[in-house]
Amino acid sequence: MERLRKTLVGLTVIIILSTPASAVSLAKPGCDEWCGDLRIRYPYGVKEGCYLNQTFLITCDKAFSPPKAFLMDTNISVTNISLNGELHMLQPIVRYCHEGVQLGGGSFIPNITNLTAPPTLSIADGKNKFIAIGCSTFGLFTGMLKGSEFLTGCVALCTNNSSIVDGSCSGTGCCELNIPNGLRSLSLAVGQLLDDRNGTFVKYNPCGYAFVVGEEGFKFKSSYIDNFEDREVVAVVDWSIGNETIIDICGLNSIRNSSFSDDRSQYRCECLDGYEGNPYLPRGCDQDINECEHKWLNDCTHECINTRGSYTCKCPKNYKGDGRRGEDRQGCTRDSKTIPIIIGIGVGFTVLLIGSTWIFLGYKKWKFIKRKEKFFRENGGFILQQQLSQRQSVPNEMVRIFTQEELAKATNNYDNSTIVGKGGYGTVYKGILEDGLAVAIKKSKLIEQSQTDQFINEVIVLSQINHRNVVRLLGCCLETQVPLLVYEFVTNGTLFEHIHDKTKHASLSWEARLKIALETAGVLSYLHSSASTPIIHRDVKTSNILLDNNYTAKVSDFGASKLVPMDRTQVSTLVQGTLGYLDPEYLLTSKLTEKSDVYSFGIVLLELITGKKAVCFDGPEEERNLAMYVLCAMKEDRLEEVVEKAMMVKVGRFEEVKQVAKVAMKCLKIKGEERPSMKEVAMELEGVRSMQVQH
């Protein structure tokens, strides 16, 4: 390390790029399409309403002549915006210049400057290179590659002026490196080497430079050694549309492509073959490409006939074939004299066969479509469409309509090996979609109107919820005999299994239990207080709380949930819930309030503390009702006897457990008005968790 410090005379650092990118198109109608020499394409735009969101803002500074375009409100100049997801922008050159004085003691203080580019762009893979220029000059670049730090560099040396050749960047006066694909948070540095024999500079040139430039944007000249005046060079960065965008903006005759994104979190719109135009605007790629106008766009040997989105090739009279060139193509060959009757019979038989087959397949397709329409109607598809259309806040991409073929393929035709859960409601299957995404598919067991209503209710409720601790609804399928719901797949089972099935899972630690309780309380508080329309879950229990590999809670099963109008505090409804978790006041009055969820959550807290089920008929009579069992233990000051022993041996934090038990008892008050709100419960649990931090 000491020797490395002695080689650093000066250092300048620039952060070139940081995180992944966004995307482009032609300007919207009524919007400026030019800023000086730069053509602006939507989703980029100059004024409000002309760009997709703030990250696609182009600031056009007309104080320059011609006007100059800058990215958002930065000083980064944009020189080109292309439809293939590339942005050309000027990036500063990192330079270090010394004064040629000898430094003593081997101790040097680097001069560091940090300039950060917008976090919405990433360096384009394989389209840039790293350059260092100078004599006895080193250039470094570093960043994050596949989650790990990456550092490399090169050295430019000079033995004499004759060894420096124009166009050569192989280490003499100039060195270059390829930038690895996937490198993020790229930083550059340049410095000068010392002559270790006497501590002086190697005096070939006064300055060293380093920069990232597009592959075709730089050619080295030997004169740069003595004088390199450029302050900025053009670098190529990638941009694309993020999946968090509310709607899929790809327009007519275009497709959505996310194959370039490792985690499918970004996508670009591309025109279908044979079309051109603007894939990001509603009219999309509405211009047909006339392949016949240009020889390089078609492979016809004779006559080319343009069609919408494609073309056909025609042979001259008395010739036959497909009219296309190539080794595996027939081209056009002279038609041999054959017996017209044989040709007629062959053609007639072929036409008859094709016609019969077409009619048969058309009839089968018609029956298949009618059958799917029947299921769609019976499964409440029209009602669901009407409900969703009335809720303007529902993002279209929240409810994706899957085909029955997609889900059958994802589950290997609902093979028993893909079953991950069963219950009175039906079966849950694990499926793998074509893009590799793991999903959970909920398939109802019975076909009843009440279940159809419950299915529609769950879709409507989940479409109102945006919370990290709620299982995300991806879509549904209405074409099957029973409706299917498709959720994100949560990998680690239910909280009920972790507490009560020790053959599958080791006992949860107290820290994990408290974290799960706090996250679940946060979800219920959000549903009651922060959702666009207040929601009562109505079936809070440990089997409806899923856990991922990090033991993060995910609340599920909103089939019984109720949306509560803003001007009402309770709703009258048929009593529905699970024995042991059901609010006694709700059971007696049929008046559903937010405090009904509070009661059920109190039972969940007791399960976390004791490791016992809400209702158990196998043990002693005093333990059959968990709420009464714990309440008696607390009144007799013997709570420690009912706490799960395996958990307490590991933790030894009985005071925290005692505080959570007190919170649970507040939740289990017989009168709903005496119970705290879920927001208050979450705050009290947060207070208990702060005790853990202090420990």
Note the pLDDT tens digit of each residue in 457-497: 667 777 777 789 998 888 888 777 777 888 889 989 899 99
Instruction: Give yes or no for residue 662 having a pLDDT over 50.
Output: yes
**Per the omega criterion (within 30 degrees of 0), is the bond before 66 cis?**
yes
30-44, 147-161, 377-391, 657-671: which range is least confident on average? 377-391
Find, among 75, 80, 73, 82, the residue nearest to 46 by Cα: 73
Q: What is the CATH number of the domain that holds 553?
A: 1.10.510.10
Q: What is the pLDDT of residue 521?
A: 95
606-660 residue pLDDT tens: 999 999 998 887 777 777 888 999 999 899 888 888 898 877 655 557 888 999 9
Assigned domain for 400 exists = yes
* Helical pair 510-525 and 678-694, crossing angle rounded to 10 deg: 150
106-115, 434-443, 594-603, 633-642: which range is least confident on average? 106-115
Find, among 537, 623, 634, the residue nearest to 580 by Cα: 623
Contact 325, 301 (CB under 8 A): yes
β-strand partners of 211: 131
Instruction: Give yes or no for residue 386 having a pLDDT over 90.
Output: no
Domain co-membership, 534 together with 678 = yes
Question: What's the mean pLDDT in 77-86?
Answer: 88
CA 521/CA 507 separation, integer angstroms: 21
| Structure tokens, 67 | 């006007």
Q: What range defines the domain where residue 297 resides?
A: 292-334
521-530 residue pLDDT tens: 999 999 888 8
60-74, 148-162, 344-358, 376-390: which range is least confident on average? 376-390
Contact 394, 388 (CB under 8 A): yes
Assigned domain for 267 exists = no
CA 427/CA 417 separation, integer angstroms: 12
β-strand partners of 70: 59, 77
Find, among 88, 398, 436, the residue nearest to 258 by Cα: 436
Cα–Cα distances (Å) from 380 to 329, 444, 461, in that order, read 52, 14, 15
Domain co-membership, 190 together with 100 = yes
Terminal C-alpha separation, the chain: 39
Burial class (CB in 10 A: 0-12, 13-18, 19+), 336: exposed
Contact 161, 173 (CB under 8 A): no
Q: What is the pLDDT of residue 598?
A: 95
Domain co-membership, 98 together with 235 = yes
Instruction: Give yes or no for residue 5 having a pLDDT over 90.
Output: no
- What are the binding residues for ATP? 443
Q: What is the CATH number of the domain that holds 443?
A: 3.30.200.20
Within 10 angstroms of residue 149's Cβ, the number of other Cβ atoms is 9
Domain co-membership, 398 together with 443 = yes
Q: Assign 472 to helix, strand or coil.
A: coil
Assigned domain for 285 exists = no
Angle at 584 between CA 581 and CA 586, to 5 degrees: 100
Contact 689, 695 (CB under 8 A): no
Rg, the chain, Cα only: 34
Q: Look at residues 440, 468, 488 and tell me which one is the last residue of a structural domain.
A: 488
Within 10 angstroms of residue 221's Cβ, the number of other Cβ atoms is 15
Assigned domain for 482 exists = yes
Instruction: Give yes or no for residue 53 having a pLDDT over 70.
Output: yes
- The number of folded domains in the chain is 5
Q: Beta strand 535-536 with 545-547: parallel, antiparallel or unpaired?
A: unpaired
Q: What is the pLDDT of residue 514?
A: 93
Q: Residue 685 belongs to what H/E stretch?
A: helix 678-694
Within 10 angstroms of residue 666's Cβ, the number of other Cβ atoms is 15
Residue whose entry in the numeric block shows the structure tokens 């409440």: 380
Find, among 95, 81, 92, the residue nearest to 117 by Cα: 92
Domain co-membership, 451 together with 302 = no
Residue whose entry in the numeric block shows the structure tokens 């050749």: 165
Within 8 A by CB and 6+ apart from 124, the residues are: 86, 236, 237, 238
Domain co-membership, 95 together with 69 = no
Give residue 78's pLDDT band: very low, low, confident or very high (50, 70, 90): very high
CA 210/CA 127 separation, integer angstroms: 17
Contact 297, 310 (CB under 8 A): no
Domain co-membership, 525 together with 565 = yes
109-156 residue pLDDT tens: 333 333 344 555 778 888 899 999 988 888 998 888 888 899 999 999
Q: What is the pLDDT of residue 570?
A: 58
Q: Look at residues 459, 488, 517 and tell me which one is the last residue of a structural domain.
A: 488
pLDDT > 90 in the chain, percent = 21
Q: Given phi > 0 = left and psi -120 to 50 = alpha, else beta, which region is 590?
A: left
Contact 192, 154 (CB under 8 A): no
Cα–Cα distances (Å) from 273 to 304, 359, 558, in that order, read 17, 30, 43
Find, among 116, 121, 157, 131, the residue nearest to 233 by Cα: 131
Q: What is the pLDDT of residue 13?
A: 45
362-393 as b/e: b if 16+ CB within 10 A: eeeeeeeeeebeebbeebbbeebeebbeeeee
Q: What is the pLDDT of residue 26?
A: 76
Q: What is the pLDDT of residue 263?
A: 76
Assigned domain for 348 exists = no
Domain co-membership, 119 together with 80 = no
267-302 as b/e: b if 16+ CB within 10 A: bbbbbeebbebbbbbeebbbebbebbeeeeebbbbe
Across the chain, what does the average pLDDT equal?
79
Assigned domain for 269 exists = no
168-211 residue pLDDT tens: 898 888 999 998 887 877 888 888 876 544 544 445 567 889 99
Instruction: Give yes or no for residue 535 having a pLDDT over 80.
Output: yes
| Structure tokens, 638 | 């013997």
CA 56/CA 78 separation, integer angstroms: 12
Question: What's the mean pLDDT in 46-71?
Answer: 89
Q: What is the CATH number of the domain that holds 321?
A: 2.10.25
Domain co-membership, 38 together with 100 = no
| Structure tokens, 471 | 């299982």
Q: Residue 371 belongs to what H/E stretch?
A: helix 340-378
Residue whose entry in the numeric block shows the structure tokens 């919007």: 31
CA 601/CA 524 separation, integer angstroms: 9
Give residue 547's pLDDT band: very low, low, confident or very high (50, 70, 90): very high
- Among the options 539, 557, 583, 597, which is catalytic? 539
406-431 residue pLDDT tens: 999 999 999 999 998 876 567 889 99
C-alpha of 300 from chain center:
44
Give residue 389's pLDDT band: very low, low, confident or very high (50, 70, 90): low
Catalytic residue check, 539: yes
Domain co-membership, 80 together with 95 = no
Domain co-membership, 298 together with 195 = no
Domain co-membership, 499 together with 430 = no
Q: What is the pLDDT of residue 320?
A: 79
Q: Assign 648 to helix, strand or coil.
A: helix
Burial class (CB in 10 A: 0-12, 13-18, 19+), 360: exposed
- At residue 561, φ and ψ (nearest 5 deg) are -70, 160
236-290 residue pLDDT tens: 988 888 876 667 788 888 888 888 777 778 888 999 888 888 888 888 888 888 8
Assigned domain for 164 exists = yes
Q: What is the pLDDT of residue 681?
A: 95
Residues 387/391/396/400 CA torsion (nearest 10 deg): -30
| Structure tokens, 208 | 């060293």
Residue whose entry in the numeric block shows the structure tokens 């409507």: 460
Instruction: Give yes or no for residue 105 having a pLDDT over 60.
Output: no
Assigned domain for 264 exists = no
Contact 322, 313 (CB under 8 A): yes
Q: What is the pLDDT of residue 439?
A: 92
Question: What's the mean pLDDT in 383-396?
Answer: 53
| Structure tokens, 302 | 């004779």
- What are the binding residues? 443
| Structure tokens, 555 | 């609340």
Q: What is the pLDDT of residue 534?
A: 82
Q: Look at residues 488, 513, 534 and tell me which one is the last residue of a structural domain.
A: 488
Q: Given phi > 0 = left and psi -120 to 50 = alpha, else beta, which region is 304?
A: beta
